[in-house]
Amino acid sequence: MENPEAVLTSRLDERSYECLRKIEHPELFAFLARYIEHCNPSTVYVNNDSPESIEYIRQAALRNGEEGKLAIPGHTYHFDAFGDQGRDKKNTAILLPAGEHLGSAIDTKEREAAYAEVHEILKDIMTGREMYISFYCLGPANSVFTIPCVQITDSSYVVHNEYLLYRPGYEEFVRRSRAGKLDLFYRFVHSQGEIDERKVCKNLDKRRIFIDLYHNTVYSTNTQYGGNSIGLKKLAMRLAIRQASQEGWLTEHMLLLGVRGPKGRITYFAGAYPSMCGKTSTAMLEGESMVGDDIAYIRNIDGIARAVNTERGMFGIIQGVNAKDDPLLWKALNSPNEIIFSNVLVKADGGVHWIDKGGDLPMDGINYSGTWHRGKTDANGKPIRTSHPNARFTLALQSLETVDPRLDDPAGIEIGAMVYGGRDSDTWVPVEEAFDWTHGIITKGAILESETTAATLGQEGVREINPMANIDFLSVTIGRYIQMNLDFAKGLKKPPLIFSVNYFLRGKDGSWLNERNDKAVWYKWMELRVNGDVPAIDTPTGRIPRYVDLKRLFAETIKKEYTETDYVNQFLIRIPENLAKIERVTKFFTTQVPDTPKIFFEVLEEQKKRLLAFRDKYGEDPDPEVLGGL
The radius of gyration of the chain's CA atoms, rounded to the nearest angstrom, is: 25
Residue 29 has φ and ψ, to the nearest 5°, of -60, -40
Alpha helices, DSSP H only, in 150-289? Answer: 156-165, 170-178, 226-229, 234-247, 279-283
Report how far residue 253's alpha carbon sits from residue 235's, in angstroms, rounded to the nearest whole number.
Answer: 12
| Sheet arrangement for strand 68-69 | 68-69, 75-78, 339-342, 392-396, 313-317
Dihedral, CA atoms, 490, 526, 410, 141, nearest 10 degrees? 100
Q: Which residues are 211's β-sheet partners?
A: 94, 218
Residue of 19, 39, 201, 277 with catalytic role = 277
Query: Are the C-beta atoms of residues 514 and 521 closer than 8 Å to each other?
Result: no
d(C-alpha 259, C-alpha 511), whole Å: 29
Number of Cβ within a 10 Å radius of residue 630: 14
- Phi, psi of 195, rounded to the nearest 5 degrees: -120, 155
Decide if 255 contacts 295 (C-beta within 8 A). Answer: no
SS3 281: helix
Of 237, 262, 265, which Cα lies nearest the Cα of 251?
A: 237
19 annotated active-site: no
CB 415 within 8 A of CB 268: yes
d(CA 377, CA 369): 10
Distance CA 533, CA 527 (A): 9
Type of residue at 468? M
Give me the active site residues, please.
277
